[in-house]
Amino acid sequence: MRILEHFQLASGPTGIEAFGSGHINGSFHVLGREEYLLQRINHRVFPDVAGLMTNIQRVTEHLRGRMARATDLAEPQLTLQIIPTLDGALFRRDEAGDYWRVYTFLGGLHAYDLVEHPDHAYEGARSYGYFLRFLDDFPHARVVPVLPDFHNVIVRLRALEAAAGAAEKDPVLQIRWRECRTDLRRIFEQADARCAIQLAWDKGILKTRVTHNDTKFNNVLLTPQGKGKAVVDLDTVMPGIVHFDYGDGLRTATATAAEDEADLQLVGSDPELYRAFTEGYLEVTQDYLSAAERHYLPQSGALLAYLMAVRFYTDYLRGDVYFGIKHPEHNLLRARNQLRLCAVLAGGI
């Protein structure tokens, strides 16, 4: 691809192939003596491309410094390395208006969509924990909120309420409103409990940190020996709270079924994976967390599952305008799946 001519590559590429399963950015593995990851940044999701890339540059530079000084790592950690353009920029815009970036390729590492072994949950959680720990002294004012209110459950509930009100009056979407209005009662009945963490943050009880904000388990890479090695996909790095990262990691690492599994009897959270993930995360973060942060941690998994349910219901009632779907009921299945997972996680395993 000609776009590569604009980046400071150490050697010429010998080939390029599609890479990964992400839905936001197009990713390509650049082959050669030196390997790279080329990505097209989705500027419709992330309109502030300059802010996004500056966030990543500042955070990864800080992480590399902390990783180099750390003396207690069971497994040395890696982070992303941006390859600048020929004129020293962090990204390049092409003639078609698309935005591109290049990273060094983290070869020999593995991502897992579903966790099958407690050791993997434990190791992945440790890497996520190191990520939080190494950014403990990084001022959150140095990163911009690329997706404002991304995890703000109060804002998300207002959006759902508006979508439900509009769908109820819409001749096309009204059938969808009827289909899920009982579900919506369940959503709003537990709103007070699910908003507790956000309200504590709003009151200053919880520390504002620089957090990842998209800690699906497949965003942490493991070695062939199963050791946590690198946290990737840093587009959503911005001010947040520990509960967003721990909660989303817990939600995805311990789930017993895929996010769109229709049989709700199969949807749950594996107790052994839950314990392993929590143990790994707390082993490296507990000395950096306040008593208030630790107090709210057990609610984190339920909050993140609830947030996803709210977002899926909202999109369903809007006519599937955000999430990609495979069939008309896809977002409804996802929403009910996550609402079920929320109930399990709220029960405290």
The phi-psi region of residue 74 (left if phi > 0; otherwise alpha if psi is between -120 and 50; otherwise beta) is alpha
The alpha carbons of the chain give a radius of gyration, in whole angstroms, of 20
**What integer pLDDT is reported at residue 21 of this predicted model?**
60
What is the per-residue pLDDT for 26? 84
Instruction: Clarify whether residues 33 and 168 are in a common domain.
Output: no
Q: Are residues 239 and 336 in the same domain?
A: yes
* 331 alpha carbon, distance to own chain's centre: 19
Amino acid sitting at position 1: M
Please tell me whether residues 68 and 171 are part of one structural domain: no
Is 264 in the same domain as 315?
A: yes
Structure tokens at 197: 């963490």
Q: Is residue 111 part of a domain?
A: no
Domain end (from 104, 137, 163): 104
Enumerate the β-bridge partners of residue 18.
28
Q: Is the pLDDT of residue 318 over 80?
A: yes
Contact between 217 and 110 under an 8 Å Cβ cutoff? The reply is no
Q: Report the alpha-carbon distance of residue 248 to residue 220 in Å, rounded.
A: 12
Residue 112 lies in a domain: no
Average pLDDT over residues 66-87: 96
Per-residue pLDDT tens over the stretch 259-270: 999 999 999 999
pLDDT value, residue 19: 87
For residues 155 and 14, membership in a common domain is answered with no
Number of folded domains that form the chain: 2
The answer on 123 and 100 residing in a single domain is: no
Shared-domain flag, residues 41 and 186: no
pLDDT value of residue 10: 95
With 90 as the cut, is the pLDDT of residue 244 above it? yes
Q: What is the mean pLDDT of the chain?
A: 96
Q: Are 78 and 107 in contact (CB under 8 A)?
A: no
Q: What is the mean pLDDT of residues 141-147?
A: 98
**Within a domain: residue 271?**
yes
Total length of the chain: 349
Whether residue 59 is found in the same domain as residue 139? no
Do residue 8 and residue 144 come from a single domain?
no
Same domain? For 93 and 155 the reply is no
CA distance 46 to 52: 7
CATH of the domain at 198: 3.90.1200.10
Given pLDDT bands bounded at 50, 70 and 90, which one contains residue 317? Answer: very high
Domain co-membership, 172 together with 217: yes
When pLDDT is cut at 50, 70 and 90, the band that residue 1 belongs to is: confident
Confidence of residue 254 (pLDDT cuts 50, 70, 90): very high
Query: Is the C-alpha dihedral spanning 198, 201, 206, 208 positive or negative?
Result: positive
Are residues 291 and 178 part of one domain?
yes
Hey, CA dihedral for 318, 323, 326, 330, is it positive or negative?
negative
Q: Does the residue 276 lie in any domain?
A: yes
Residue 99 has pLDDT above 60, yes or no: yes
Tokens found for residue 342 = 């929320």
Question: Percent of the chain having pLDDT more than 70?
Answer: 98
Report the greatest alpha carbon distance in the chain.
Answer: 63
**pLDDT tops 60 at residue 126:** yes
3-state helix, strand, coil in the chain (%, to 5): 50, 15, 40
**What pLDDT does residue 349 have?**
43
pLDDT value for 189 = 98
Domain endpoint, select from 49, 82, 104: 104
C-alpha 8 chain-centroid distance: 29
**Averaged pLDDT, 170-180:** 98
The whole-number average pLDDT for the span 223-243 is 98
Helix (H) or strand (E) segment spanning residue 298 = none
Q: What are 17-68's pLDDT values in tens digits?
A: 998 765 456 899 999 999 999 999 999 999 999 999 999 999 999 999 999 9
Report which of 277, 273, 278, 285 is spatially closest to residue 242, judged by C-alpha positions.
Answer: 285
- Half-sphere exposure (Cβ direction) of 237: Cα atoms closer than 13 Å: 30
User: In this predicted model, what pLDDT tens digit does every residue of 325-341 receive, in sequence order?
Assistant: 999 999 999 999 999 99
CATH code at 23? 3.30.200.20
Residue 4 half-sphere exposure, CB side, CA atoms within 13 Å?
21
Mean pLDDT in residue range 100-126 = 96
End position of a domain, from candidates 104, 137, 155: 104
Average pLDDT over residues 228-234: 98
Average pLDDT over residues 274-281: 98
Which structural domain, as residue segments, surrounds residue 226? Answer: 118-346
